[in-house]
């Protein structure tokens, strides 16, 4: 998404992440040790509305505790936030954020990245949309948001992020059915995730023999369960479920598994050409309340060419 920070506003592109809370932006000066500095960099010293949060402020302590997995200890003003693809050292401040070049919201708490690793996919930061009190949706006082997932292969498709009353999903008249499934109550120590109750997986018309308790969430220690996270590209399953999916794919694909280790994927097949993909049925995830999420072959199978570096 594109948004602007400060006065005068500095526009930057950020990744929407439902798996985290804090809004973070790469700030100037960028650390000489960082390999992931992406212009434009937000410069707090150039903004008339930036306010640095004191080390003992409740907002900074909340952000630091969330980054530490719920631990209340936070001795440093700058703290380390860990992501799937790397880490970032963050200091907290308050600023005016502008959306769609017209709606300005003062007093939004966010993190200034002073050093980081892992890269940001060409963006200049990340917008946490989790359930915690520091996420963008929480700071705006909204109780809902919506975003259409555009085709992964179509880099030119865009979608509008809707927050608040406008984030209402209705039947669009194309025959699609609006479905819903309830969130699962968050366990202690994991306040930001969106937990869903996954009840089963099917391939085509075949329901896989996955134990009924495979996706159960332990409410005491937070193990198990399933979260929906826009910051991750690949779905991860508990091993007992993954092995069922893997076995079903092997039974359906009339190709020998590849012995090459060019990728980090567990199961690959050598194709004669990209235009000859294996015949695969849809994969359907079944959720509490009867909701289903159907994944087409274009999203469950990924073609990697020899020259892709994989």
The domain 2-141 is placed in CATH, from the list 2.30.130.10, 3.30.70.360, 2.40.70.10, 2.60.40.1260, at 2.40.70.10
User: Do you know the residue count of the chain?
Assistant: 310
| 5-9, 17-21, 172-176: range with highest mean pLDDT | 5-9
- Secondary structure of 231-280 in the HEC alphabet? CCCCCCCCHHHHHHHHHHHHHHCCCCECCCCCCCCCCCECCCCCCCCCCC
State how far the Cα of 259 lies from the Cα of 158, in Å rounded to an integer.
38
Q: Residues 237-254: what's their mean pLDDT?
A: 94
Answer whether CATH 2.40.33.10 is correct for domain 179-308.
no
Is-same-fold flag (2-141; 179-308)? yes
Residue 274's pLDDT is 67
Share of the chain above pLDDT 90, in %: 39
State how far the Cα of 39 lies from the Cα of 26, in Å rounded to an integer.
8
Q: Which of 229, 239, 282, 288 is catalytic?
A: 229
Residue 93's pLDDT is 93
State how far the Cα of 104 lies from the Cα of 6, in Å rounded to an integer.
10
Asked if residues 287 and 198 have their Cβ atoms less than 8 Å apart, the reply is yes
Report how far Cα 98 is from the mean position of its chain's Cα atoms. Answer: 22
Asked if residues 303 and 271 have their Cβ atoms less than 8 Å apart, the reply is yes
Is the confidence at residue 67, as pLDDT, over 50? yes
State how far the Cα of 36 lies from the Cα of 86, in Å rounded to an integer.
10
220 is an active site residue: no
Is the confidence at residue 239, as pLDDT, over 80? yes
Is the confidence at residue 60, as pLDDT, over 70? yes
Annotated domain spans of the chain: 2-141, 179-308
Residues 6+ apart with CB under 8 A from 186: 131, 192, 193, 195
100 is an active site residue: no
State how far the Cα of 149 lies from the Cα of 137, in Å rounded to an integer.
18
């Amino acid at each position: 998404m594109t948004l602007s920070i400060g006065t005068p506003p500095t526009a930057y592109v950020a990744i929407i992440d439902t798996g985290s809370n804090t809004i973070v932006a790469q700030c100037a000066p960028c650390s000489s040790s960082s390999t992931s500095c992406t212009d434009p960099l937000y410069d707090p010293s150039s903004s008339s509305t930036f306010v640095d949060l004191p080390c003992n402020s409740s907002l900074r302590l909340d952000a630091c505790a969330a980054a530490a997995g719920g631990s209340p200890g936070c001795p440093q003003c700058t703290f380390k936030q860990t992501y799937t693809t790397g880490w970032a050292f963050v200091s907290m401040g308050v600023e005016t954020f502008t959306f769609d070049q017209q709606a300005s919201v003062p007093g939004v708490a966010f993190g200034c990245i002073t050093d980081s690793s892992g890269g940001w996919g060409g963006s200049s930061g990340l917008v946490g949309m989790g359930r915690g009190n520091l996420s963008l949706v929480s700071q705006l006082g909204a109780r809902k948001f919506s975003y259409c997932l555009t085709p992964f292969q179509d880099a030119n498709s865009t979608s509008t992020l809707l927050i608040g009353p406008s984030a209402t999903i209705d039947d669009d008249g194309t025959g699609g059915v609006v479905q819903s499934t309830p969130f699962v109550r968050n366990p202690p120590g994991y306040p930001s995730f969106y937990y869903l109750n996954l009840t089963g997986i099917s391939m085509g018309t075949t329901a896989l023999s996955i134990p009924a308790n495979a996706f159960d969430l332990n409410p005491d220690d937070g193990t198990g369960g399933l979260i929906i996270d826009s910051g991750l590209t690949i779905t991860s399953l508990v091993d007992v479920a993954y092995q069922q999916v893997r076995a079903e794919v092997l039974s359906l694909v009339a190709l020998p598994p590849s012995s090459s280790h060019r990728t980090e994927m567990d199961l690959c097949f050598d194709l004669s050409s990209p235009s000859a993909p294996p015949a695969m049925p849809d994969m359907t995830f079944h959720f509490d309340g009867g909701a289903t999420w159907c994944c087409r072959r274009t999203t469950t199978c990924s073609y990697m060419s020899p020259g892709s570096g994989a």
